[in-house]
Amino acid sequence: MSSDALTSSEYIRHHLTNLTFGQLPDGHWGIAENIEEAGQMGFWAIHVDSMFWSILLGILFIWGFSRAAKNATTGVPSGLQNFVEWIVDFINDSVRGSFSAKNALVAPLALTIFVWVFLMNLMDLIPVDVIPEIAKSMGIHYMKVVPSTDPNVTFGMAIAVFLLTLYYSIKIKGLGGFTGELTLQPFQADNIIVKILLIPVNFFLEFVSLIAKPVSLSLRLFGNMYAGEMIFILIALMYSAGLGMGLFGGVLQLGWAIFHILIITLQAFIFMTLTIVYMDMAHTEH
């Protein structure tokens, strides 16, 4: 727990607050100095820490994989090449098992999503006070280091996947075919009058199902990672409650970190798999 005299609730709020840039109440743009200012910045506020860590991890992913590709050899592979080849084979098997059409974009998209989301989730295993305390020594008062605990990040990725599915749905099926899927199912009829009457009902059901895809995709990742981060923060509070509770908290933190490795991997896999499934649905005519 931070050395400052913070109450438990203040400590939790501090660790769950993003470093936010936006329009301050007096009209000028800058970094919010407290939670209230951040809350008043509105829609156009930017979570600087989420942007920084997600972009940094994306660059790390590109650098690592490009380095492995440049140094690839047909002889005995290096540890990095072996690791990258294992991930690529895993992604290829996942795409072959869930995607029935042909699209050269899907496998690279799945690879990018899996590795990027995994790296963002992996930041949750860093002790909760380490990076915030380093940032504080540099004059930065808020620093959330797990981008996937920010709904702006998870919704951004989910919306990008959603737009891709819409694009390929219209490209593969045509505007008429895509519109037909939204209006002529699940309820069908041979009578033209009944079919017309069913169009609003079908559209409502299909539209809800369509919109639910990016919402569920983003909230599933956000909810699981946010809950995991909250547990780490609550365990960290135990270190300020005496030696006995601190030792017990250390055991809990180790146990939860080991279990959390499964969660961060599973959430990256689920996000990738659902993306492949949605892309397959976009390429399949009903």
Is position 34 within any domain?
no
pLDDT at 3: 44
Q: Is 216 a catalytic residue?
A: yes
- Along the chain (286 residues), what's the average pLDDT of each consecutive run of 10 residues? 66 89 86 84 89 96 92 79 91 92 92 96 91 90 93 95 94 88 82 84 90 93 93 86 80 89 95 95 81
Beta bridge partners of 30: 22
pLDDT at 246: 79
Is position 40 within any domain?
no
Q: Is 224 a catalytic residue?
A: yes
- Nearest-angstrom CA–CA distance, 137 and 140: 7
Is position 140 within any domain?
yes
Is position 8 within any domain?
no
Is position 231 within any domain?
yes
pLDDT at 73: 79
Structure tokens given for 193: 């009058």
Structure tokens given for 181: 């899927």
- Nearest-angstrom CA–CA distance, 208 and 119: 32
Domain that residue 158 falls in: 51-283
Backbone angles phi, psi at 224, to 5 degrees: -65, -45
Is position 77 within any domain?
yes
- Nearest-angstrom CA–CA distance, 286 and 190: 17
E-strand spans in the chain?
Answer: 20-23, 29-31, 46-47
pLDDT at 108: 94
pLDDT at 122: 95
Q: Is the separation of the CB atoms in 145 and 131 below 8 Å?
A: yes
Of the candidates 2, 78, 220, 240, the residue annotated as catalytic is 220
Using alpha carbons, select from 230, 236, 228 the residue that is nearest to residue 252: 236
As for how many domains the chain has, the answer is 1
Is position 180 within any domain?
yes
pTM of this structure: 0.89
Q: Is 34 a catalytic residue?
A: no
Is position 13 within any domain?
no
